[in-house]
Amino acid sequence: MSIKIALAGNPNSGKTTLFNDLTGSSQHVGNWPGVTVEKKEGRLKGHNDVIIQDLPGIYSLSPYTLEEVVSRQYLVNEKPDAIIDIVDGTNIERNLYLTTQLLELGIPTVIAVNMIDVVRKSGDVINIRKLGEALGCEVVETSALKGTGSREAAERAIALAKKPVMANISVPSVFNGSVEHAIAHIEESIEGKVDARYLRWYAIKLFERDEKVIEELKLDIVLMEHLEEHIVACEKELDDDAESIITNQRYAYIAKLVQTAVKKKHTGQKLSLSDRIDRVVTNRILALPIFALVMFCVYYISISTVGAIVTDWTNDTLFGEMIVGNLNGWFESVNVAPWLSGLIVNGIIAGVGAVIGFVPQMLILFLMLSILEDVGYMARVAFIMDRIFRRFGLSGKSFIPMLISSGCGVPGVMACRTIENERDRRMTIMTTTFIPCGAKMPIIAMFAGALFGGSGLVATSAYFIGVASVIISGVILKKTRAFAGEAAPFVMELPAYHVPSAKNVFHSTWERGWSFIRRAGTIILASSVILWFLQGFGFVDGAFQMVEDNNNSILAAIGNVIAPIFTPVGFGNWKATVATFTGLIAKENVVGTFGVLYGLSEVAEDGAEIWSNLAADYTPLTAYSFMLFNLLCAPCFAAIGAIKREMNNAKWTWAAIGYLCGYAYVIAFIVYQLGKLFAGGGFGVGTVFAIAAVISLVYLLLRKNRYGEYGEYLPERKVTANA
Amino acid sequence: MKTLRNVKIGETATVLKLHGTGAVKRRIMDMGVTKGADIYVRKVAPLGDPVEVTVRGYELSIRKSDADMIEVS
């Protein structure tokens, strides 16, 4: 029979490190059902029957955020056999706040006072015996970074789990006077209606008027009114609302506990090393330049230098010479049928290889970003950028995914996990791929070279439009029912800086990299094969065969059917249509596809060989329109896969893709039609629609927000001008 | 009414009462900003908002508009 141990604790308490330490490589990462919150579990190393369930980092068990609700539901419904509560020893008061709540659940708990090495170095002394006695549970010292104590914590938890379930686990008396009295009364009233183990927890939640608990228990009205009387009496006596009373008393209890069990070396405002670093890093004047410098270094190292070298080697040497070269030689000597060798070399290897070629760059980018995250710098970035994002109803935390997306949308979308508010999270997931990623650069370079004389303005305008699209989308979406509501509170901890843990960094780098590779291996492989087949075969004079001129291929036939959709945006020909679709596999494919379709099997990264062909088929306007559409529409399959995983909901995933494509189409439409007008193309039906589109867009941007703080629809009179 | 928003950088204030309702208030309290807690205002972000304060031994960043909900002495 397997033992379930839950791992709980504040964000930044070292929980991830401990989890990695305990479970090693046997982790399984997914999402909690129906929500965008990550779910991690793993088997305890060395024990086949012990599962460690990592709960999201939470500060409390309130009913307000997804992470808290998910954790509560797990703890109450799944009934783990024990809890390991990680408490950051350097931040003990706030961490113990969650502890008092966990203890009320009546589940055997082991407290792991983590970062004990930092505590000792600072001269503070934590008396774990006194702590354990007061709280009524076992306390273990751990230093997850140094690797000590985690085994012991797990062993103690297992021992506790194996003991028979006790109905009365001693709970520390946190509350006093009339509050304790009221809670006892509530306990009596609901006895028998809930599992005995959770009686106290439910009673306290009812005292707080916890909406989720009230909904869950469905107590009859008479009982509720009776309880309400008691609660109101307490509120009157203490001149505060029930929730605040509970919170205040918890912290009051903790303050007293800490006074007896913890001896602090320094009192008053000590400047820790982190504070000293922050004096420079979040300095009014230096913060932004330092940030620009850090980002420049990250991208320079991962994309331009080390990354490029490894990618070039992978593409040219590994794939070019070693694999393809040898394969072709072998095929010839074994007399393989041309269609098979064509399939393998030009279909599979070319398609998958192009994407795999980017993996080294990606891995290095992921590595650099993981380091920044682990060090604690990303919190500072959110702190610095929050002001800008607040104007569009988001928070500084939405900036980081967008930043990462300029390298690659896959980790960018994955970075949205750190955004607590679900609305903000979904909105950021939806819009983060507007920012041109590394794979979109070849498209920009190709058209810039073919039709704009290599002007750098093309790239600049692309980034500008990307960022503007994020802002526009933010403003428009915030006024829709799905995303309405007050801006989520931006109350964020700035954790102390610490030396990045190699284990954590490699672990998260690998997780992201593997996710990318796996998508490449599956969808991209399948798509490459299908694409190769479709463009290499067709009907010639009624016979189905391999075709030389791909204008006769099945792909061309399909493309020609779909192409008219793109006429209003200026590129209604089958090649452009096909290229757009292959762009879904990997954005770099647009360049590759044009190469193949214009007759060249190998094109440079910026497609220089086909510039003249392109110039013949496109005008600067149609080229720009095509480029815009491809930059703004749905991202590559790898990114779509990431969106699907993070949204964890089919409806939202399709909504995101639909929004991206729809938005891209509208923008390309406006640009093309109005561009035609200004270029002297005359006024037509299209122009009328384009102007209508612009007016609609402006309206959506400027209209009053009809939704109030809680997402409720407000009648005319009450509407105030929100951004 | 003096709120945390009015406290200057480098000053310490003691929390008297929390105004407001719902998730924001609960969040602020969960993070340790409760009656009687001492709050030290460390700095302001480069763009003017949010502010960074020290409470119960750790650093917290909070928007000025939310800081306005915290009445201090």
CATH at A105? 3.40.50.300
- CATH of the domain spanning B4-72, picked from 3.60.15.10, 2.30.30.90, 2.60.40.2470, 3.40.50.300: 2.30.30.90
Structural domain boundaries enclosing A122 = 1-270
Across B41-69, average pLDDT: 93
In whole angstroms, give the CA distance from residue A615 to residue A344: 32
- Closest alpha carbon within chain A to B66: A489
* A492 vs B: CB within 8 A: yes
Clarify whether residues A205 and A136 are in a common domain: yes
Whether ipTM > 0.90 holds is yes
Across the interface, whether the CB atoms of B44 and A490 are under 8 A apart is answered: no
* A494 vs B: CB within 8 A: yes
**Cα A644–A79–B24 angle (5° rounding)?**
60
Across the interface, whether the CB atoms of A274 and B61 are under 8 A apart is answered: no
Across A25-53, average pLDDT: 85
Question: Count of domains in chain A?
Answer: 3
> Closest Cα partner for B44 from B24, B64, B68, B15?
B64
Clarify whether residues A357 and A477 are in a common domain: no
Helix axes A554-562, A525-536, angle to 10 degrees: 100
> Closest Cα partner for A49 from A114, A83, A2?
A2
> Is A384 part of a structural domain of the chain?
no
> Is A41 part of a structural domain of the chain?
yes
Band of residue A354 on the pLDDT scale cut at 50, 70, 90 = low
Backbone angles phi, psi at A144, to 5 degrees: -60, -35
User: For A245-264, how does the pLDDT look when each residue is reduced to its tens digit (9 = 90+)?
Assistant: 999 999 999 999 999 999 88
In whole angstroms, give the CA distance from residue A205 to residue A145: 35
Mean pLDDT lowest among A136-150, A619-633, B54-68 = A136-150
Backbone angles phi, psi at A27, to 5 degrees: -85, 150
Across A286-301, average pLDDT: 85
Share of chain A above pLDDT 70, in %: 87
Across the interface, whether the CB atoms of B45 and A383 are under 8 A apart is answered: yes
Share of chain A above pLDDT 90, in %: 28
Using an 8 Å Cβ cutoff, are A191 and A233 in contact? no
> Is A392 part of a structural domain of the chain?
no
Clarify whether residues A423 and A282 are in a common domain: no
Across B17-45, average pLDDT: 91
Across the interface, whether the CB atoms of A93 and B57 are under 8 A apart is answered: yes
Which chain B residues touch A722 with a CB distance below 8 Å?
none
Which chain A residues touch B59 with a CB distance below 8 Å?
274-275, 278, 493-496
> Closest Cα partner for A351 from A600, A586, A636, A634?
A586
Using an 8 Å Cβ cutoff, are A387 and B47 in contact? yes
* Residues of A (86-145) whose Cβ lies below 8 Å from B: 90-94, 97
> Is A720 part of a structural domain of the chain?
yes
Using a cut of 0.90, tell me whether the model's pTM lies above it.
no
Using an 8 Å Cβ cutoff, are B66 and A490 in contact? yes
Clarify whether residues A565 and A647 are in a common domain: yes
- Closest alpha carbon within chain A to B69: A489
Clarify whether residues A29 and A50 are in a common domain: yes
> Is A531 part of a structural domain of the chain?
yes
Which chain A residues touch B24 with a CB distance below 8 Å?
489, 491
Quick one: tokens of B10?
């480098």
Distances (CA, A) of A251 to A97, A311, A580: 7, 54, 58
Substitution target from A101, A174, A205, A247 for chain B, most B beta carbons within 10 A: A247
Of residues A240, A243, A387, nearest to B45 (C-beta): A387
Across the interface, whether the CB atoms of A490 and B45 are under 8 A apart is answered: no
Q: What is the β-pairing status of strands A50-54 and A38-43?
A: antiparallel
In whole angstroms, give the CA distance from residue A26 to residue A707: 46
Across A170-178, average pLDDT: 83
Across the interface, whether the CB atoms of A491 and B27 are under 8 A apart is answered: yes
Q: What is the β-pairing status of strands A262-263 and A125-126?
A: antiparallel
* A489 vs B: CB within 8 A: yes
- Cβ atoms within 10 A of the Cβ of A176, count? 11
Q: What was the pLDDT predicted at A169?
A: 63
> Is A380 part of a structural domain of the chain?
no
pLDDT at A507 over 80: yes
- Sorted by sequence, the CB contacts under 8 Å of residue A213 that are 6+ apart come out as A63, A202, A205, A206
SS3 A584: coil
Alpha carbon of B17: minimum distance to chain A alpha carbons (Å): 9
User: For A657-678, how does the pLDDT look when each residue is reduced to its tens digit (9 = 90+)?
Assistant: 999 999 999 999 999 988 888 8
pLDDT at A686 over 70: yes
> Is A669 part of a structural domain of the chain?
yes
Of residues B27, B47, B56, nearest to A388 (C-beta): B47
Backbone CA torsion sign across A534, A536, A539, A544:
negative
Band of residue A722 on the pLDDT scale cut at 50, 70, 90 = very low
> Is A387 part of a structural domain of the chain?
no
Across the interface, whether the CB atoms of B49 and A285 are under 8 A apart is answered: no
Domain boundary among A270, A287, A307: A270
* B46 vs A: CB within 8 A: yes
Q: How many residues does chain B have?
A: 73
Quick one: tokens of A577?
């249509």
Across the interface, whether the CB atoms of A282 and B23 are under 8 A apart is answered: no
Clarify whether residues A299 and A224 are in a common domain: no
pLDDT at A314 over 60: yes
Alpha carbon of B26: minimum distance to chain A alpha carbons (Å): 8
